[in-house]
Amino acid sequence: MSSLSAKIKDAFDEPACDKNRGKDAKARKEGCSKSLTPGAAAGGCAFDGAKIVLQPITDVAHLVHAPLACEGNSWDNRGAVSSGPTLWRTSFTTDLTELDLVMGQGERKLFKAIREIKHTYAPPAIFVYSTCVTALIGDDIEAVCKRATEKFGLAVVPINAPGLAGSKNLGNKLAAEALLDHVIGTVEPDDPGPYDINILGEFNLSGEFWLVKPLLDRLGIRVRACIPGDARYRDIASAHRARAAMMVCSTALISLARKMEERWDIPFFEGSFYGISDTSQALRNLVRLLVRKGADPEILERTETLIAQQEAIAWKKLESYRQRLQGKRVLLNTGGVKSWSVVHALMEIGIEIVGTSVKKSTVQDKERIKQVLKHDKHMFESMAARELYAMLSEHRADIMLSGGRTQFIALKAKTPWLDINQERQHPYAGYDGMVELVRQIDLAIHNPIWSQVRQPAPWDCQPDLIGELPCTRNETAYLFDEFACATAHEC
Amino acid sequence: MARILLQSKSAAVNPLKSSQPLGAAFAFLGVDGAMPLFHGSQGCTSFALVLFVRHFKEAIPLQTTAMDEVATILGAADHLEEAILNLKNRTKPKLIGVCTTALVETRGEDCAGDIANIKLKHTQELAGTEVVLANTPDFDGAIEEGWARAVTAMIEGITRSGERARHPKKIAILPGCNLTVADVEHMRDMVESFGLKPVILPDISGSLDGTVPDRWVATTYGGTSVEDIRELGTAMQCIAIGEHMRRPAKALLGLTGVPYVLFQSLTGLQDTDRFVSLLSSISGAAVPARVRRRRAQLQDAMLDGHFHFGGKKIAIAAEPDQLFQLATFFAGLGSEIAAAVTTTDRSKILEKVPAVSVQIGDLGDLESLAVGADLLVTHSHGRQASERLRIPLMRIGFPVFDRLGSQHKLAILYQGTRDLIFEVANIFQANQHAPTPEALDPLRNREISHERCSPPLAGQ
């Protein structure tokens, strides 16, 4: 696997990554994968990471070369949305059995599987994922893909990111490498234009990119390729003809952005569509890059007009939540940048941030957070489940915003919780998305269940214990009154 | 006798299976103070964990030995040792259930030997914690096999061997993985109503029933106690439910001499009658009045419900024992099993499935076999087929991630069968098509409409 290890080394030496730049030469050499502690590890593998990045490409057949678990336990589980093709939600795997492994039939089975998919579904491309076991037994998926490409006359792309190579983040990077090596630049568009852009690292979760795209449409900006959210294979194959790119709040695809700049002279910036001012700033940066690349400068003014309009509407809508949310305490427990983007808007309407995880934040991010939060102690690298549970059950926050991994810590501590990671149900991007986020926070905090589920059972509030229990004498008296009332009515 | 059709495709399309180690972890989760541990790369664990969480809507204890490239090449015994010690120190479990994965099994590691060494080396550190191994490579079997292997491993590793003094009222029950939390709870009530003391292994009703504990617990908080597993040999009788539980029941018999009775299904009037008669004869007690009342309710449900079932074409995809349980239920009410798809050809129960043939395959097979059926019966991943075929889907089995409360759905004994009849009949009623002149026109498409006739009025 010499080529794979070379790829990994390359992926970790990322000059455009802030975090990487901040390290000395020795630390940089070690890469950014932390070695995992057996028995105390969490998170997905490299295959998982690669699949996350590529699966939202909607018209591609994604074929996983593996025994059952890699695909069988994980398919159709993402919140990305397609505006058309549904093939990406169909699961394909070689489902290798013991016999296949013992007899060394892996490559043959893979080739046949590609043929079956080609005949039944006729997709524009098939992505073939290697995994731990097929890497271990030495199946050469690159050779099989090459042969299949020649034989069937369609793009069969090897994605070489077996789980044992490392973490999810590494898998993201290896997926980007596969796109660079095999996909981007393979199709020449017949209609390139001065307002063509790429959006990198946008997944269209809950369709949230559709909250942003109309703004770009209004400005006359065309999204050549959104990678990967709601993408088509041809869009990505011709993405090299865009004039500018935006890398959306994730360092996962930074190498893709940088290499596209190097190879095809597509300048990029890092931006975010979460939060109001971040959305505005992203629009500004985009048009500036386009103008720099030759677009008519009149677009700058049109952009400012649109921003002013949209911001005014959004702030007006948010203002109506101020009274209900003023002074509410939010705990942000998720990867740094994303949460950071919404902090400004939350604070603007009077919400207090009582803590934020900075696990994935860059040094710069941490500085920004420090300035706003005023207390360093509110920043934490990561919090053990037990500690988090303690903090929440003592009501030191009114709501936690996080990903599914910590959902049940909050709920079991009887604390409102909102999903802001990939399984979330609501779109939060753009101006309307920020309003939606605040609306969801309001709904979560003010749901009437909280006072009910926190109430101990009446028979647990025995008179001699009342002083020690959260149930006060007055409340108990009231409870009995009500009970008496109800009985009286019935009689 | 159903013909078993083996898989001939190379690309599995929309898998029906979940992996074997997941099944083993599931069984370990039915033990109090347990911590299942996957011996493989971290992704194996992460995928299974996410799937469990989506199904149960609970925090699920599940850890990984986090094998990397180096461990894959040089051997992963160190990772296993470190993981076990870390878990012991951090979470103080009563049971660590090691489930192997395809990665470590393809390497051909001697995990049993490794665990024996670890136990020997750290006897004192590991005191109070049982470490049990289930060999469950992903390239073989599915949930059922994994579940049965874990239960067998627990019996072989923990239960005290030898003939013991038998407790006349104690019954060991080994439920299959197709029983829900509600099924297990209800079965316990039924057994207790005869004055018997059931010990259920695994008992997911104690650990995965969705409650709010008053403190944070890193392991499971409820389920069969390790002490009860140790003392299984003092039971008067063992009852195993599902053909896949024959192996653990045999293991218990071999180890302790406790005889077993195996029920292939507990759904339906006749199977429940057999179960109730058995309880009555073991306990010497008469069948309680409320059980008789439930039986009468089921009789009435069958009388009211059979109108909706007769002639309906049912397409089922499930693990072997669940397939048998559901297919016999539907066939017993007059429906036809138009398609039966399952995960493995290993199970002896398959030839008893009341269908012409049983396809070993995936949900892609179900989708092509189910054309023209009236109802799809499988787990949540059947939703795509259901949408495309416009056939209603009844969600059963694992995973059910897009509906709440699947663990609290009862499907066994008189009451569960009664509820199941109502559920299915209601799905049919909700999806009824009103008769139209075109559909009823005797001169239109006579051959086709005759061939495809479900009940002539309700179909089409």
Decide if A320 is inside a domain: no
pLDDT band for A385, please (50, 70, 90 cuts): confident
For residue A483, pLDDT beyond 80: no
User: How high is the pLDDT of residue B449?
Assistant: 47
| Residue at a domain's end among B258, B292, B326 | B292
Q: Does residue B273 lie in a domain region? A: yes
Nearest by CB: B101 against A48, A69, A72 = A69
Which distant-in-sequence residues (6+ apart) come within 8 Å of B332 by Cβ? B268, B269
Among the candidates B110, B141, B158, a domain finishes at B158
Percent of all residues in chain A with a pLDDT value above 70, rounded to a whole number: 82
Mean pLDDT in residue range A198-227: 95
**Same-domain pairing of B39 and B131:** yes
Same domain as B181, residue B208: yes
Other beta carbons within 10 Å of A371: 8
- What's the pLDDT tens digit per position in A21-66? 666 665 555 555 556 889 888 788 999 999 999 999 999 999 999 9
Range in A437-446, B150-159, B205-214 with the lowest mean pLDDT: B205-214
Residues A338 and A241 in one domain: no
Give the Å distances, CA to CA, from A55 to A15, B86, B161, B426. 27, 35, 51, 37
**Which member of B44, B59, B364 has the closest CB to residue A69?**
B44
Residue A121 sits in the same domain as residue A145: yes
Say if residue B145 is in the same domain as residue B189: no
| Domain identity same for B87 and B132 | yes
Residue B6 has pLDDT above 80, yes or no: yes
In chain A, which residue's Cα lies nearest the Cα of B399?
A73
User: pLDDT category, B83, cuts 50, 70, 90?
Assistant: very high
In angstroms, the Cα distances linking B157 to B37, B96, B314 are 16, 12, 42
pLDDT, tens only, B386-421: 999 999 999 999 999 999 999 999 999 999 999 999
A113 touches B at CB < 8 Å:
yes
Q: What is the pLDDT of residue A218?
A: 96
Sheet of B167-175, strand order: B197-200, B167-175, B235-241, B260-263
A226 in the same domain as A257: yes
CA A256 – CA B159 distance, rounded (Å): 56
Instruction: Please give the pLDDT value at position B459.
Output: 36
User: What pLDDT does A491 receive?
Assistant: 32
Which of A178, A185, A201, A177 is closest to A234 using CA atoms?
Answer: A185
Q: Which residues of B touch A90 (CB under 8 A)?
A: 13-14, 364, 384
Q: Scan residues 129-148 of B and list those with Cβ closer than 8 Å to A.
A: 137-140, 142
Question: Which phi and psi angles does B31 have, rounded to 5°?
Answer: -115, 140
The total number of structural domains that make up chain A: 4
For B87-146, write each residue's pLDDT tens digit: 999 999 999 999 999 999 999 999 999 999 999 999 999 999 999 999 999 999 999 999
Is B75 an 8 Å CB contact of chain A?
no
Taking CB atoms and an 8 Å cutoff, what residues of chain B touch A67? 19, 102, 137-139
Q: Which residues numbered 215-274 in A keep a CB inside 8 Å of some CB on B? A: none
**Which of A169-178, A388-397, A417-426, B320-329 is most confident?**
B320-329
Q: Is the CB of B15 less than 8 angstroms away from the CB of A91? A: yes
pLDDT score for B301: 97
Residue A47: inside a domain: yes
* Residue B394, beta-bridge partner list: B377
Would you state the pLDDT for residue A113?
97
User: CATH no. for residue B378?
Assistant: 3.40.50.1980
**Domain termination residue (choose one: A182, A210, A230):** A182
Specify if A245 maps to a domain. yes
Residue B267 lies in a domain: yes
Domain boundary among A315, A342, A365: A315
Owning domain of residue B85 = 20-158
Is residue A376 over pLDDT 70? no
Check whether residue A386 and residue A476 sit in a common domain. Answer: no
Place of tokens 């998305």: A433
B153 and B43 in one domain? Answer: yes
Residue A413: is its pLDDT beyond 50? yes
Check whether residue B195 and residue B80 sit in a common domain.
no
Mutating which of B22, B42, B45 best tests the A interface, going by the most A Cβ atoms within 10 A? B42
- Establish if B102 belongs to a structural domain: yes
B41/A70 touch (CB, cutoff 8 Å), yes or no: no
Structural domain includes residue B382: yes
Please report the beta strands in A160-204, taking only residues with DSSP state E, as ranges in sequence order: 196-202
Task: Tally the domains of chain B.
Answer: 3
Is 90 exceeded by the pLDDT of residue A425? no
State whether B124 and B26 are in the same domain: yes
Report yes or no on B453 lying in a domain.
Answer: no
CB of A68 within 8 A of CB of B19? yes
A34 is a domain residue: no
| pLDDT more than 90, % of chain A | 64
Query: Is A356 inside any structural domain?
Result: yes
Angle of helix A168-182 relative to helix A2-12, nearest 10 degrees, comes to 110
> Among A98-102, A282-286, B185-189, which stretch is predicted with the lowest mean pLDDT?
A98-102
> Is there a single domain that holds both residue A122 and residue A236?
no
> Coil, strand or helix: which one is B235?
strand
Q: Best mutation site among B20, B41, B54 for testing chain A: the one with the most A CBs within 10 Å?
A: B41
> Are both A309 and A284 inside the same structural domain?
yes
Same domain for B154 and B181, yes or no, is: no
What's the gap in Å between the CA of B321 and the closest CA on chain A? 20
| A343 plus A400 within the same structural domain | yes
Determine the pLDDT at residue A481: 44
pLDDT band at A485 (very low <50, low <70, confident <90, very high): very low
A177 shares a domain with A46: yes
Q: Are the Cβ atoms of B47 and A36 closer than 8 angstroms?
A: no
pLDDT at A480 over 50: no
Query: Are A10 and A74 members of one domain?
Result: yes
Q: What CATH number should be reported for the domain holding residue A405?
A: 3.40.50.1980
Determine the structural domain holding residue A153 and report its residue range: 2-25+41-182
Q: Do B381 and A38 touch (CB under 8 A)?
A: no
Residue B119 lies in a domain: yes
Which residues touch A94 (CB under 8 Å, ≥6 apart)? A63, A64, A65, A66, A100, A106, A109, A110, A113, B10, B11, B12
Question: How far is the alpha carbon of B437 from chain A, nearest alpha carbon, in Å?
Answer: 36
pTM for this model (two decimals): 0.91
Per CB-CB distance under 8 Å, the chain B contacts of A69 are 19, 21-22, 44, 47-48, 101-102, 138
| B381 and B263 assigned to the same domain | no
Q: Same domain, yes or no, for A346 and A299?
A: no
- Nearest of B20, B39, B85 to residue B346 by alpha carbon: B20
ipTM for the whole complex: 0.91
Are B205 and B171 within one domain? yes
Spell out which residues of chain A touch residue B215, defining contact as CB-CB under 8 Å.
389
**pLDDT tens across B38-69, in order?**
999 999 999 999 999 999 999 999 999 999 88
On whether both A241 and A331 belong to a single domain, the answer is: no
Convert the pLDDT of each residue in A292-339 to its tens digit: 999 999 999 999 999 999 999 999 999 999 999 999 999 988 765 556
**Interacting residues of B175 by C-beta distance below 8 A, sequence separation 6+:** B183, B184, B187, B200, B202, B241, B242, B245
Per-residue pLDDT at B329 exceeds 90:
yes
Residues of B in contact with A89 (CB under 8 A): 384
Point out the domain boundary residue: B246, B263, B292: B292
Residue where a domain stops, chosen among A182, A208, A224? A182
Same domain membership, residue B137 and residue B245? no
**Same domain assignment for residues B238 and B144:** no
Is the minimum CB–CB distance between A35 and chain B shorter than 8 Å? yes
pLDDT computed for residue B442 by the predictor: 84
CB contact under 8 A, A36 and B216: no
